[in-house]
Copies of this chain bind each other. A is one copy, B any other.
Amino acid sequence: MNPTACILIIGNEILSGRTQDANIQFLAQNLGKLGINLQEIRVIPDQEALIVHTVNETRKKFSHVITTGGIGPTHDDITAPSIAKAFGVPWEIHEESFKILEAHFRPGEFNTPRQRMATLPRGAIPIRNPISAAPGFSMDNVHVLAGVPEIMRAMFLELAPHLSKGAPIVSRTWYAFGMSEGQIAEKLEEIQSAFPTLDIGSYPFKLQDQRKGVALVVKGHNENQVKNAAEQICQLIADFGLTPHEGEPTAKEASKI
């Protein structure tokens, strides 16, 4: 069994619609590459009681919980003290991180709010931040990353070698332009029934140039089975007199799917 994961996006800015999420897809893709099965994502506000409750619920249910957001120097950055509370440990200066941040800022600029970024739950293992020095951290299976996408990505790359991993998921995707889901639903279900351990998905799309169609995705751990199912899907599209296209459309097109 592959390890599982849950992502907690902590921050009012997604819930108010002010900010378009720019972290989920990166984390989802990279967890998949590590063979970690992302099973749930939650977006919750900067409220201590909610963070404590959600962290304690999810850390029991999933192998890994990855949080983003709320570890900066301002009053609305309450993720670290909330995690301390969830684990029932003090929130205290982390000496090593304090020294790193002290050296990072010019003399006199490492003020009280910035010292907050060197204050971690007792027992936390810091995650290095190669961009702006203020660390993320792991407490057991809870991994706390920044919300700023550039910093979150750098921290995730620091964290990745320390995560328990599973068998990578193999995936094949066929695009059928001009096809609609209702035309192939029955045959597709037959293929799914023939490969019960695979996950076969059907996703209608519309590209920026208005071309429409269906993307058919096969995923699973058994490379040979994925290959066989993909061949049947390819044949299914061809049987409709359409040309199956393998792989993703260009990145620019894909962003609109």
Chain A residues at the B interface, C-beta cutoff of 8 Å: 9, 12-21, 24-32, 38-46, 72-76, 105, 109, 111-114, 116, 148, 150, 169, 171, 173, 181-182, 184-186, 188-189, 192, 199-204, 206, 217, 219, 255, 257
Contact = CB atoms under 8 A, between A and B. Distances in A.
A153 B73 CA distance: 37
B14 A75 contact: no
Contact of A74 (B112, B188, B199): B188
A46 B199 CA distance: 10
A48 B220 CA distance: 19
Given A13-B201, A24-B14, A42 B39 contact: no
A230 B14 CA distance: 21
A185 B75 contact: yes
A30 B203 CA distance: 25
B40 A16 contact: no
A169 B173 CA distance: 43
A43 B45 contact: no
Contacts of A257: 19
A25 B16 CA distance: 8
Nearest to A105: B182
B111 A19 contact: no
Nearest to A40: B44
Contacts of A21: 21, 24-25
Specify how many copies of this chain sit in the oligomer: 2
Contact of A16 (B28, B44, B111): B28
Leading 7 A-B pairs by shortest Cβ distance:
A17-B28, A113-B185, A17-B29, A41-B43, A75-B189, A74-B202, A114-B182
Contacts of A111: 182, 185-186
Contacts of A31: 17
Contact of A189 (B41, B74, B200): B74
A129 to B, nearest CB: 13
A72 to B, nearest CB: 5
Contacts of A192: 75-76
A42 B15 CA distance: 11
A75 to B, nearest CB: 4
B40 A113 contact: no
A38 B15 contact: yes
B188 A75 contact: yes
A102 B212 CA distance: 22
Given A75-B192, A182-B111, A32 B17 contact: yes
